[in-house]
Amino acid sequence: MNASNTQIQMRKGLLEFCILHIIARGEVYASDMIEELTDAKMIVVEGTLYPLLNRLKNASLVSYKWVESESGPPRKYYSITEEGSRFLETLNETWDSLVNSTQLITSKK
Amino acid sequence: MNASNTQIQMRKGLLEFCILHIIARGEVYASDMIEELTDAKMIVVEGTLYPLLNRLKNASLVSYKWVESESGPPRKYYSITEEGSRFLETLNETWDSLVNSTQLITSKK
DNA sequence: AACAGTACCTTGCATTACAAGACTTGTGTG
DNA sequence: CACACAAGTCTTGTAATGCAAGGTACTGTT
């Protein structure tokens, strides 16, 4: 058991939450998301992101449209759906609750 | 994809963190931990906790001793090791960083 | 044509929370 | 004693998912 594995475990689920937030702010494509997450020190790689985006799309939480690029292959621009917005509300509450619970436990003497 | 599954994912790794904190405060056995986690609204069941405790023990992060109970089978009382304390320091930093990163992303307009 | 850059996707592996149920020890009741 | 019950520990099988590694496809440059 090493720290990096536990760090990976801690991030699970959080990624989905953060990515929904990013998409909810406006149309973005995968590289945009990776850049923003990396800037916030939350590293994510393509092998993680693409399957996650597909899961979100299959669950009707996000949708996408193809947009041609001026330099290179076309991009998938994602946006959040009505259902996705509602789901995000739930996740906001879950996150607040988790932070609160963890705070309770880790700050106790 | 439903909320409860995402909630489970969000909790992964956090459980390990919280349980290490609880053990770090003093000797406890499994039912103590379940009670404290439940009080803090972080539900955990036995099928999750026992394998986790075994992983922590195999990684030398915690140790235990058998203590006979006055009513019922003997209990395993866990305590944290030197190595476990150092590991917990790392996890504290990881958690702070994750909260910070998530805050950065989810509060952005 | 060959190459490099950008973007999207797939396969296989390891980890782990959970549901369900089993095993062990001690206590009390008939 | 035989049985039920409670408390505590543990095991098996399933499903989900982050990641490493590699593959596919389109565009522009030399």
pLDDT digits 0-9 by tens, A19-35: 999 999 999 999 999 99
The domain that contains A7 carries what CATH number? 1.10.10.10
Contacts for A70-79 with beta carbons within 8 Å, 24 or more apart? A75/A29, A75/A30, A75/A31, A76/A29, A76/A30, A77/A27, A77/A28, A77/A29, A78/A23, A78/A27, A78/A28, A78/A29, A78/A53, A79/A23, A79/A26, A79/A27
Query: Residue A78: its pLDDT value, please?
Result: 97
**Nearest CB to B101 within list A41, A98, A99:** A41
A104, closest residue in chain B (CA to CA): B40
Query: Residue B3: its pLDDT value, please?
Result: 60
pLDDT digits 0-9 by tens, A42-64: 889 999 999 999 999 999 999 99
Contacts of B104 (CB under 8 A, 6+ apart): A40
> Cα distance from A53 to chain B (closest Cα, Å)?
12
Query: Residue A56: its pLDDT value, please?
Result: 94
Number of compact structural domains in chain A: 1
Domain that holds residue A64: 3-106
Query: Residue A5: its pLDDT value, please?
Result: 75
- What pTM, to 2 d.p., does this model score? 0.88
In this model, does residue B67 exceed pLDDT 90?
Answer: yes
Instruction: Share the mean pLDDT of chain B.
Output: 90
State the helix-helix crossing angle for A14-24 and A30-39, rounded to 10 degrees. 120
CA of B98 and C1' of C19: distance in angstroms? 30
